[in-house]
Every structure is written in structure tokens, then in C-alpha cells.
Amino acid sequence: MPNKGNILDTNKKSLDRLFGETNWEEALYKKDPQFNFLDNIDGNTAVKRVNEKEICCYFRERLKTLYPSVTCPLCLRNSNNAPLFLFYFAMSNPDKKAIKLGNNIAHHLIGKDLICKK
């Protein structure tokens, strides 16, 4: 997901499938508050991608439409500290005791480096 919002149509289709909806762009790209004439030369409004934490939380909310419990993700990074993968723990069992047990296990395993700590 590029910072400036110039996403190829093929990539948009992939992101539509990933997020399970087509309005992700409105949630993850906001109007850039810093006006730059060169960005607006083609008549398009300059946009900027939201931060990493907001993307993670957005995707978590999308997963929560499918699963009764989804933990905050662990972000796996490369040697340059750029994000590579997000590791979510999602449970399909709606039982409160199972969710509590599963979340305790997940937080024990990945809880130290969670992105959106509560």
C-alpha cells in the first residue's frame, strides 16, 4: 500500500479481496493536510495513507465480522524494520470460556510485541 495512494487497479482488486470490501480506500487513505501543488497537478486530491497501527486495527475490525474473538496483531518485520506480516489470533468458538483461554494463550505467545495493546 503506497503512501501517496496511487494504487494500480490490479492491486486494488487484490486489496478488495483481502479486506472483503471495496470501501477500504476511504478508511485507509485520508486527504493530505499538507498541500503540495505538484501532487495536485493532474486534478486529483493528494491523499496520504494512515499509519501502520490504524491499518492493523482496520483489518482486525474486518476479521471480527467473521470471528467472535480476534487479538491485536503481532507485526513481523524485516531487517530494515519494515512490516512484512501481521499475525492475528482468531477464534471461531463463541464460548466465553474458550475465548478467554484462547486469548490468554495467544497473549502469552505473542503479547509482548502487539501493535494495538489495550
Give per-residue pLDDT as tens, 65-87: 999 999 888 888 899 988 888 88
pLDDT at 35 over 70: no
**Secondary element (H or E) of residue 75:** strand 74-77
Domain ranges of the chain: 1-50, 52-118
Q: Which residues contact 66 (CB under 8 A, 6 or more apart)?
A: 90
Residue with more model confidence, 54 or 46:
54
* CA dist., res. 114 & res. 112, Å (int): 6
Range list of H helices, 1-118? 9-19, 24-28, 52-63, 96-110
Bridge partner residues of 30 (DSSP): 48
- What's the mean pLDDT in 34-51? 67
Residue type, 85: F
Identify the weakest region by mean pLDDT among 7-11, 34-38, 97-101, 109-113: 34-38
